[in-house]
Structure formats: C-alpha cells, structure tokens
Amino acid sequence: MAKSPEEEHPRKAFGWAARDTSGVLSPFKFSRRATGDKDVTFRVLYCGICHSDLHMLKNDWGYSTYPLVPGHEIVGVVTEVGSKVENFKIGDKVGVGCVVGACHSCNNCANNLENYCPKSIQTYGFKYHDGTITYGGYSDIMVADEHYVIRIPDNLPLDGCAPLLCAGITVYSPMKFYGLDKPGMQVGVVGLGGLGHVAVKFAKAMGVKVTVISTSPKKKKEALEKLGADSFLVSSDQDEMQAAQGKLDGIIDTVAAMHPLAPLLGLLKSNGKLVLVGAPEKPLELPVFPLIMGRKTVGGSLTGGIKETQEMIDFAAKHNITSEIEVIPMDYVNTAMERLRKADVRYRFVIDIGNTLKSN
Amino acid sequence: MAKSPEEEHPQKAFGWAARDSSGVLSPFHFSRRENGEEDVTIKILYCGVCHSDLHIVKNDWGFTRFPVVPGHEIVGVVTKTGKNVKKFKVGDRVGVGVLVGSCKKCDSCQQDLENYCPQVIFTYNSLYHDGTITYGGYSDAVVVEERYVLRFPDNLPPDAGAPLLCAGITVYSPMKYYGMTEPGKHLGVAGLGGLGHVAVKFGKAFGLRVTVISTSPKKEDEAINRLGADAFLVSSDPAKMKVAMGTMDYIIDTVSAVHALAPLLGLLKLNGKLVTLGLPDKPLELPIFPLVLGRKLVGGSDVGGMKETQEMLDFCAEHGITADIELIRMENVNMAMERLAKSDVRYRFVIDVANSLSQ
C-alpha cells in the first residue's frame, strides 16, 4: 500500500498544497528524500507564483495529481550537500526552476535541453525516479539533484530573482534561439505580465528596441517609464496597429489566452518571427497569406535547459535585472491566486517562504 | 476613358484569357507595350500551368481583374532587346517567372529579394508601372524588363524546365532559407503535385532522406520508383502516422487546400520546421502546444528573388532536374484546368504555346 506523503520519505517537510481542482491551498505536512550523493538540500527562502501554478492547481491541463504543492521559481540557501556534489557548498545561494530530472541519454539531454527531454521530470506534480510525486517550492525545504540547481550570484536579491527561474528563462531562451537579441533590432512583447515585463528588461539589456503590445492602455506609463520600453501599442486600437505594420523583426508573445495572430503577423517585417511562449489550449487561426507573402514564421518555446538557465541568471546578474514583484506572506496565497487570475499584479507575486511559512 | 486591352499598347498580342470567375479560358486579342530600353521581347515557346493560375481564373482569392491571361512559368526566345540591355541578345533562350517588376529601392529589392518587395509586380493580374494590367504567359509574346528575365540553361529542356520558374523556385528558396540542406537529415514532402514532386528531386539532390506524405496511396509507386523518395506515408493512416511521429527534421507542405497542421507538426522532431507553401482561401488551424512543447516553427515562403531563381535554374542544369510534365495544346487548357482541380496530373501541365497557339 502506498505510503502517505508524510511517510514516504525520511525527512519531514511542510508546505501548502491544493487537495482538489478547487485549487484552494492550505497547510500540508509531507516529507522529502534524504540528501542523496548527488543531491543538494536547501532551505527555501522565496518562491515565485507562476501562472502555470494556477493552471495546475485548477487542473486546466488535465494532468494534475492531488495533493499538489506548486512552485517552480524557488530560491534559498544550501544546508546540506551529498558526498559527490562538486559545485555547491553549505551557505550557497541557489535556485531551482521547472525541471528536476531527465533521462540524460537522449539527444535533447546531450544538447543541454533537459526541458525538452521526453522523460523530463517537472518540479512538481511529476513522478520522480524513485516513483514518488515531486512537490514544489511552496514549502520549507527542497532536495534536488545538483545538475538541476542554479547558482545565484551574490549581487542578485533573492526575492526579485526567483521569478527569473521560470519567467526569465521562458523569454530569454527564445530571444536567443530565434535571434531576437541583436542590438538595434525591433522586438515586440505581447502581454505585460510576469513574462512580458522580464522580456522587456532582457531586450533592453541586449540593446534591442522594445515595443510593448497590450490590451490595457493603463500599462503604458509603467511600460515606458519604469521598464524602459521604447514604445507601446494598444492592440485594440486599429489606427495604432495599422501605423505600426511591418516594423518589427520579431515578437515575443506571452499571452496564453485565445487571441488573434493576424494583427501580430502584420506588425512583422518580412522574415519576421512571431514566437509564442504562452500556450492557448485551443488552436489559433493562422492566416497563411501573410506568412507566405512576407516569409514570416510562427514558432514556440518552452522554458530552457539548465545550462541556459544558469547563463540567463548570470546575464541578469551582470545587468542587475530582477523581476518586479509583490512579496506576500504564505497565508495570502489564495488571495494572490484570485488576483493573478484577474491579472492584478505588477508583475509577479513572490511568497516570502523563509519568514512566513510556519508549521504549527 | 480606359483603353481596351487591344488598344492600350502599340504591339498586337494574342493569348487565352478568362473573362469571369467561371474560369473558362478562350482566345483573347490584346496588346503589349513597346520594347523599352531596359526590356526584352520574348516569343513564348512553353508555359506551365500553375495551380495559382486556377485559383486566379476562378477568383478564389478575391482579387482577380478580368479578363485575366494567366501563366508565370514561361520559357521562350528573345526576339528584341532594348538599347540598355546587357545580359541578353536576340536568340537567347530565357525564362520569366512570377515577377516582372518591383521598386528596386527597398531593403528587400536591395537584398535580391524582389519577391518580397511591398510593390512587387506579378507577371499577370498586377498593375504595371504604366498603370496597365499585366498579362501572363498563355500568350504569344511578352515584354519584360531585363532584371526580371532569367537565362535558361541550354541543357535544360524548355518544356520540362518551364515549371521550375514557379514550382521550382517556390520549393528551392525555402529549402535553402530554412536550412533544409544538411545531408542525412529527414525531409517530409506533403502533397505530391507540381511543387511536391520537384521538392522530392531537390531533397535527394541535397542528400536528404525524403518521405512523401500524401492522402493518395496510389502515388506511392511513382514516388519511390520514379522520383526517388525513400519512403511514403499515407497521412490518412493513423497507425502509420503514429509510428512516424517525431522523425522528421523538416517538412515542405505543398498542399493548397485547407488542411490540418497538427498531424504534420507531430511528425517533426524537436526544433522541427514546417514550411507551408500552398495558399488556401481560408486560415488554417494552428495548435500552439506542439510549437511550444517541441520548439517547432511554421513558416511561409513566396517564390524567390531573381538572383536565387537563376541560381536554382543553374542548380537544376547541373543536377539534371526538371519537372515531370504532360504537354498539352492551348485549346485543351480548360480540360487541363478541370483535371488540375482534381489533382489529375503527373505532375504539371505545360502548354506547347508556340506550336498550338493560333489565332
């Protein structure tokens, strides 16, 4: 008979979990594995709230298992390392993102693309090598294989850099892969949320001119003044969109809701690239004429491999890039989820685990 | 008042045109401009029948101006050259493809990508610099600015080579642009028609493994034994499609009707590229999850610039690549159109203009 979450591993752990598709989180006692030879154990200090957490809590994608402890933008301080761990020591500031395991024998793993491994193990809600379910960062400690642990440079504040572990890599990776990182390029960012606002910051640091494309005119001031975007387009404003036709080398589209692609394709120059990092559940309409007449492409991207995640964190450290966050106590999390559902956050909630997650 | 087609230019011309969206073609008297300083006049020998011709005569895309003389896979002989013409002389065998003009000043034109010029002028159904409509290759002669005329290699047969001027460049250009040229990689070709069969030949010439993806099982024998494809996948066979999932590096999708992209995306490996070339009259459905989960992309491409079209013709001459054609007489063009609508051709009709176009 399967052991209970509290009993399946030798070390006590505590977090908040959802028990069903209501997605409501509440205190949850469980356990973590002992620190294996190649494992790093760390005390969690902060965990970002990703929109994927909300999707998973509600079982929007159909593969959630309960109880579910979300959280894959996790940062903290190392408390124990296994005997074969080479790159980390106690006291190091570290983070873990979306993936905690993979097969290490496929082509993708060989190319540092563990996130695309068909057997990749996500940080929460997936079956680990030992058959137990992974629990994420809305918890007091994490145990992860060294390979999947990211070193956080000293100059990055832990709370502000937590969201980079998912939001950051999710936009950084396609900007590099699709070549939208060259100084002087004109790149659009659709959606100014957790992903979008980081995309603006990365793009500016790469010397790219950024146009934010949003349905909310009230985001314009912050986009231009606080985030440094070069221009702002209200996507429902026909005249503005018309005037901007054919101006962009690429677009990073962070919107996961259903939305039309045609107007975005129109904004691209010929050979322009529209890259989707949010995944609407239903297919979108693809008008083929603009694709063909302008040799344009529509591509996708999913987070990034571990090597690239470290590269992204180091890039952020070099340019002092962090996420704009609202730090919340653990017991605010359900309210935060409600607000996130209404896109009422500038621009990422981060749970102050270290100071507010208390088991009674 | 606008002049009639017969009167608007000084040189008499004759061809076949469609008068309305029934698409039925019939004899048509019109006229061609005087051969200008930069122009060459070409006596047309052969003209391929492109599926776009069928779309246009039926006004499928809603922008046809009737009467329309289609035809943009033209091979002929130079009969006159303007005084500034440097590349051609009378008697040269030449080709004209899909474009006959562009702005020459924009970024695209400066990069030899005249096909992407926002002011590109197509060989037929377009407004020329002088405000008149362009008429295509289902006619006795055409006058074209030198820049948009291709040198047609001597060792390429003019009839079987005609379709290269649209079908050929339409698949060659994206195969180069999207990097589908690494020997040993696996290319899928969806649709085995005018474009598809040439894509198979190019794929083999680039050293790729080629799988034809088709709804018609009866095309398998020719695909493998005549065109040289390595494998044939019937797309309506779910079991076979499942086995083939995640096995292709790239796919050239030549299907011109509305069709499902999801099964094709499933055939691609990680980072796979699906290039769609057909022009359906409605949008396609694009599932986003496969793009995101597999970092895949869907791209388009539209013929090629003049420089690349010449490069493609020379490549074909070097590798002995031509289209597989059915030669027809001008008066059979309507029947050919009907057969084309049913995909009943292996794999391109070519009109024997010089020998059958008579007034």
Q: Does the CB of A281 have a partner CB in chain B at under 8 Å?
A: yes
> Would the pTM of this model clear 0.90, i.e. be above it?
yes
Tokens at A303, concatenated = 């987070």
pLDDT digits (tens), chain A, 360 positions: 678 999 999 999 999 999 999 999 999 999 999 999 999 999 999 999 999 999 999 999 899 999 999 999 999 999 999 999 999 999 999 999 999 999 999 999 999 999 999 999 999 999 999 999 999 999 999 999 999 999 999 999 999 999 999 999 999 999 999 999 999 999 999 999 999 999 999 999 999 999 999 999 999 999 999 999 999 999 999 999 999 999 999 999 999 889 999 999 999 999 999 999 998 889 999 999 999 999 999 999 999 999 999 999 999 999 999 999 999 999 999 999 999 999 999 999 999 999 999 876
- Determine the distance in angstroms separating the CA of A284 from the nearest CA of chain B, rounded to an integer: 5
pLDDT digits (tens, 9 = 90+) for B55-64: 999 999 999 9
Are B238 and B200 within 8 A, CB to CB? no
Beta-carbon separation of A291 and B290 below 8 A: no
Which residue is listed with tokens 């992860």? A144
Q: How many residues does chain A have?
A: 360
Q: What is the CB neighbour count within 10 angstroms for residue A337?
A: 21
DSSP A100: E
Q: Which residues of B touch A297 (CB under 8 A)?
A: 297-300
pLDDT digits (tens, 9 = 90+) for B147-173: 999 999 999 999 999 999 999 999 999
pLDDT digits (tens, 9 = 90+) for B94-144: 999 999 999 999 999 999 999 999 999 999 999 999 999 999 999 999 999
The minimal CB distance from B297 to the residues A283, A295, A297 is found for: A297
Are B137 and B162 within 8 A, CB to CB? no
Beta-carbon separation of B292 and A277 below 8 A: yes
**Over 70: is that where the pLDDT of B263 sits?**
yes
Are B281 and B121 within 8 A, CB to CB? no
Whole-angstrom distance, CA of residue A76 vs CA of residue A143: 11
**Which residue of A55, A291, A308 to mutate against B (max B Cβ within 10 Å)?**
A291
The sign of the torsion formed by the CA atoms of A103, A107, A109, A114 equals negative
Average pLDDT, rounded, for chain B: 96
From A251, A156, A267, select the one nearest A196 (Cα to Cα). Answer: A251
DSSP states along A22-43: T--EEEEEEEE----TTEEEEE
The CA angle A319-A321-A326, to the nearest 5 degrees, is 165
What Cα–Cα distance (Å) separates residue A326 from each residue in A167, A339, B81, B164? 15, 12, 73, 60
Whole-angstrom distance, CA of residue B274 vs CA of residue A308: 25
Q: What is the ipTM of this complex?
A: 0.92
In three-state secondary structure terms, A272 is: strand
Helix axes B167-177, B194-205, angle to 10 degrees: 50
- Determine the distance in angstroms separating the CA of B276 from the nearest CA of chain A, rounded to an integer: 8
Q: What is the 3-state secondary structure (H, E, C) of B190-230?
A: ECCCHHHHHHHHHHHHCCCEEEEEECCHHHHHHHHHCCCCC
Q: Does the CB of A153 have a partner CB in chain B at under 8 Å?
A: no
Looking at residue B106, its pLDDT comes to 95
Tokens at B121, concatenated = 């002028």
Q: B residues 272-331 near A, CB within 8 Å?
A: 276-280, 283-302
Q: A residues 112-141 near B, CB within 8 Å?
A: 113, 116
Looking at residue B3, its pLDDT comes to 86
The minimal CB distance from A270 to the residues B108, B289, B296 is found for: B108
Q: Does the CB of B116 have a partner CB in chain A at under 8 Å?
A: yes
**Over 90: is that where the pLDDT of B358 sits?**
no
pLDDT digits (tens, 9 = 90+) for B285-299: 999 999 999 999 999
Looking at residue A1, its pLDDT comes to 62
Looking at residue A360, its pLDDT comes to 62
Looking at residue B158, its pLDDT comes to 98
Q: Which residues of B touch A271 (CB under 8 A)?
A: 116
